[in-house]
Structure 1
């Protein structure tokens, strides 16, 4: 079972997935608690224009992705200030607009066919040592952001007005939270792709939220679940010949449903035991 990990590119894919899982665990916990799933999905797809422009200009794809995601977040913030438009409407409009702009840019160059596939679905087996270094740096930055903003993030996640009363500056906390989300998405897209990064960003934290009520525990557990999904997905991909990135993301989502079923069964058992003790 461990034989595939003795191959160099599979070992790098494993380490890349572990680092991505840790970054997504930190950011994804706040996405789940704040109900920002739609926004994070839109941001992951809204990176396409930045990636396409960076590729055309010969620039850094990671930087292009990050700038595009930031533009998406700023646009959503600006549109949501209108009393006649809900935040979901702004997200939906920018989601479609950014994705359309990216496809138009990509369609202008015939050489983008393979790159677009990699952008959408990722290429975890092509992770290089330099990519691991970038992911390690992204994890360090995510840890710094999550630690520095933990108190403000917690207050913001449960009561924005209380956060303001405590002087925690909810506007700044929201901006830092979006920065953390942008970092996670931009660092992860080239490993599992924008269509699949959502799996590692949402599923592991959601699975842990069913069992833990302390935020650091949820983050740590989400990282472990994501790492397990990475290892399991790579093994399945190796032996079954399936797409590695999609298998990893699919297994992460499967872990959530398994956790949900186990949690429901656990609650039923506790209810029955409590009822028996009552008699």
Structure 2
């Protein structure tokens, strides 16, 4: 058991573990709705489209979190506006904004030779460099996300399964959609500077998708996603420590691998004489 516990004898690895746990909980809450509503492409676009805001904030000497928040918020707002056109699908709107904002971000980065290291951290993160104030920021983001998810649960459920019914029930689906975009934005922005966009997206999609293959109720999907995210964090840190691999990328790889293992197990289960599974229920 020493090989499992040895990495966590070091203080910065313990800090990374706490950061991974908080990010796992945060992404479980937001990522469940991303998976249920089929918003994975939007999450990917927002995480990478933030490069423009982060690059501009870094060059201007402003907190990169502010730049990332404005950039991700602009992406979400732009998608909402463009999607109202009857001739443009949401996927088309996301693709256009994704390519446009990412290309502008790369242009800004190319004019600053000193931004190369920051760009690497933006893409792949540095979970082993987490500070106490970073943990505090994640805890606050988690509290806000949990409160919003609890208060808006009924509207989110109706929106995820039947937006027209949500409107009939007076649940204001447009407001619910805006709040969901806010949850995704908060999860990505609060986590990217710690673990990078690679790990954020891996934990935002992988664990909820894996849990959704087995759980029947939305709260259970969130719980399963949180547990799988934590397992991914622990396993990723252990593997990274012994194999000398990038910690953030290893955690993300484990999260995605767990999804494929879950899918394989589900396929094997369906081949057995068991009753058919049911869709997720609120």
Please tell me the TM-score bracket, short chain as reference. Answer: over 0.9
Structure 2 runs not aligned, ≥5 long: 276-282
Give runs of aligned pairs for residues 257-276 of structure 1, distance below 5 A: 257-271=260-274
- 1:33 counterpart (14, 33, 36): 36
Question: Aligned ranges for residues 1-279 of structure 1 at < 5 Å?
Answer: 1-271=4-274
TM-score, normalised on structure 2? 0.94
- The structural deviation recorded for 1:266 is 1.9
Q: Quick one: distance in 2 between partners of 1:219 and 1:52?
A: 33
CA–CA distance in structure 1, aligned partners of residues 198 and 235 of structure 2? 20
Alignment deviations for residues 8-54 of structure 1 (CA, whole Å, 9 cap, x no partner): 11000000000000000000000000000001100001111111111
Instruction: Please give the alpha-carbon distance, in whole angstroms, between the structure 2 residues aligned to 1:201 and 1:136.
Output: 17
**Superposed structure 1 runs of 4+ greater than 6 Å apart:** none
Contact 2:17 2:233 in 1 (8 A): yes
Query: Does the 8 A contact of 1:191 with 1:245 survive in 2?
Result: no
> Is the 1:119–1:193 Cα contact (8 Å) retained in structure 2?
yes
Gap runs ≥5 in structure 1: 273-279
CA contact (8 A) 2:54 2:65 kept: yes
Q: Deviations over 1:228-268 (max 9, x none)?
A: 10000000000001111110000000000111111122222
* Cα deviations by residue, 1:146-174 (Å, 9 ceiling, x for unpaired): 01110000000000000000000000000
TM-score by length of 1: 0.95
SS of the residue 2:114 aligns to: helix
Deviates more, 1:254-263 or 1:194-203: 194-203
Where 1:85 maps in the other structure, the secondary structure is coil
Shift of residue 78, structure 1, vs aligned partner: 1.0
Residues 49 and 105 in structure 1, CA contact (< 8 A), matched pair in contact too: yes
Q: For residues 258-279 of structure 1, what are the alpha-carbon distances to aligned partners after superposition, in whole Å with 9 as ceiling and x for unaligned? A: 111111222222349xxxxxxx
Q: Distance in 2 between matches of 1:206 and 1:171?
A: 25
Aligned length: 272
Contact 2:198/2:252 (CA < 8 Å) preserved in 1?
A: no
Cα distance, 1:66 vs structure 2: 1.2
Whole-Å Cα distance in 2 between the matches of residues 25 and 93 of structure 1?
28
Q: Distance in 2 between matches of 1:195 and 1:221?
A: 21
Deviation sequence 1:110-140 (CA, Å, 0-9, x none): 1101000000111111111110000001100
Distance in 2, Cα, partners of 1:83 & 1:261: 39
